[in-house]
Amino acid sequence: GAGVSQSPSNKVTEKGKDVELRCDPISGHTALYWYRQSLGQGLEFLIYFQGNSAPDKSGLPSDRFSAERTGGSVSTLTIQRTQQEDSAVYLCASSLAGAPTDTQYFGPGTRLTVL
């Protein structure tokens, strides 16, 4: 079946602009995660949605970052007033039920470059 999809695959923006990154999880998966992969910081957790529960936002690096998940499916990660340090690959993952034993399936990522 279809895996996790993300769009756009690449995004180049100017410092100070806002960007939106989209994630379509695997159908039927109730848990959705956002991570960031950068050279300096490795792979780091950003935010986690599980069903209708309040999201775990503990990994968001600043209040410029926000995310929503509409209808329990598609998610959008928004970065306001982008900075050069926001340049990274943003990865979305989904899992069946959000249990720690569940496999998280990753999308191909969105490469964000802030000039």
Give yes or no for residue 99 binding another protein (CB under 8 A): yes
The token duo for 25 is: 């999880």
Closest approach of another protein to the CB of residue 52, in Å? 16
Sign of the dihedral defined by the CA atoms of residues 91, 94, 98, 104, in that order: negative
**Lookup result for tokens 């993952």:** 93
CB of 6 to another protein, least distance (A): 9
Q: Give me the least distance between CB of 42 and another protein, in Å please.
A: 5
Considering only 21-29, 53-61, 66-74, 75-83, which stretch makes contact with another protein by CB under 8 A?
53-61
3-class secondary-structure state, position 64: coil
| Residues paired with residue 90 on neighbouring β-strands, in sequence order | 36, 110
Q: Binding-site residue total for another protein (CB under 8 A)?
A: 26
